[in-house]
Amino acid sequence: MTNIYMDALSRLDKAFSFAHIETEAITKLKHPQSILQVSLPLRMDDGSLKVFTGYRVRHNTTRGPGKGGIRFHPDLSLAEVQALAFWMTIKCAVVGIPFGGAKGGIVVEPKLLSRLELERLSRAYMNAIADFVGPDKDIPAPDVYTNAMIMGWMMDEYSKIVRKSSPAIITGKPIPLGGSLGREEATGLGGFYCIQELANKNKWNPKSIRVAIQGFGNVGQHIASILYENGYKIVAVSDSQGGVFRSEGLDIPSLIEVKKSTQKLRAVYCTGSVCEESNAEKVSNEELLALEVDILIPAALENQITKLNADNIKAPVIVEIANGPITLEADDILLKKNILIVPDVLANSGGVTVSYFEWVQNKAGFYWTLKEVNQRLEEIMVREFDNVYKIMQKNTIDMRTAAYVHALNRYAEAVASQGTQEFFDKITG
């Protein structure tokens, strides 16, 4: 186990003393339920053969079937997948949906594959894990460098294997294939609801709140767009190549339009079909993290804020839209600086919540309107944000620990329903 997984598990020990949970329940959470590693031979377009490695980890199913995304990334490791699966267990408990945690992925640089190679690899992965997953066992979803179309391919492959239409096997699918309205923007929208709750509690005027967003992929673009539409001043965004900063605020719709058409991040202002360069400074990802803003939103990959750069963080509020963007050591440094961190297991849980909605709709064969989806999402996010906030205030602890306490209490109730040592001691005593 590498540091990322050990870091993830160490959060449990910090929350244990504040939760109503027995030691044996914590012990179960420290061990993944099952791990699958597969080899995926792929015939490339030039006729050559390459073999890719895939993983699927099911962390805990005490509260329901496993739920978690599929990630395509060249640096993916088993330890990373284990950590992500663990976070999914906690995340599902935080928002109170009846799932456990799971995660999967392939070690691959998807940008180097043709579209046909990408489809063949996606189908090969589902073929290899088909006995390990299922609508009532483990339900995958999109994650880094996967999307609705890839989920559609995987659903189709699984349906062929089991000889029946199985839309509930996977979420984040295209709408015509059983996807849910609102799923694509759900992670960003869930994060926005958390920010709005902070705004209500602190009586913020959105127009005066400066925001920097690290990561401008699907999730980063959605939360940037939602915040922009609601009057927040987005002064900086970045992707893997670097970023742009403009103290007066960036024109987010134009940035998104140019990014999608050119795959480059340039500060522009568009009117109709005409886009002009805007005056903006170029910044690196490191420089963006250190900007003097009111809210910093890491929306990229794990371990972006570490002990090496945590002292440089000036934002009084961090909202974690990425999974695990702050290391354990950095967490301690930031808390000593009285920085409020809205943790990933709460802030980015909008995605898994609407994935749950999609699964429910697939099971029922009845589909909701976008208004219904967003209303249900807002109700859950506001309720659980308030629950976590109250635990934080009651125990005088940080918000991450409070979220874990909230999750552990829900998990403990499920464990206790099956019997713990205390229960069996009463019978034999």
Catalytically annotated residues? 103
Question: Residue with structure tokens 């690290």?
Answer: 214
Q: How far apart are CA 340 and CA 140, in angstroms?
A: 31
Strand partners, 106: 54, 72
Nearest to 173, CA basis, from 156, 190, 161: 156
Q: Which residues contact 74 (CB under 8 A, 6 or more apart)?
A: 107, 108, 109
**Helix/strand/coil (H/E/C) assignment for every residue in 133-182:** CECCCEEEEECCCCCHHHHHHHHHHHHHHHCCCCHHHCCCCCHHHCCCCC
Sign of the CA dihedral running 103, 105, 107, 111: negative
Distance of CA 125 to the CA centre of its chain: 21
Residue 317, H or E segment: strand 317-319
Length of the chain: 429
Q: At what angle do helices 350-364 and 370-395 cross, to 10 degrees?
A: 140
Which whole-number Å values give the CA distances from 48 to 52, 111, 114, in the listed order?
13, 18, 14
Residue 404: CB atoms within 10 A of its CB come to: 29
User: Virtual CA dihedral for 324, 330, 333, 336, nearest 10 degrees?
Assistant: 10
Which strands make up the sheet holding 295-298, listed edge to edge? 281-283, 242-245, 233-239, 210-214, 295-298, 317-319, 340-342
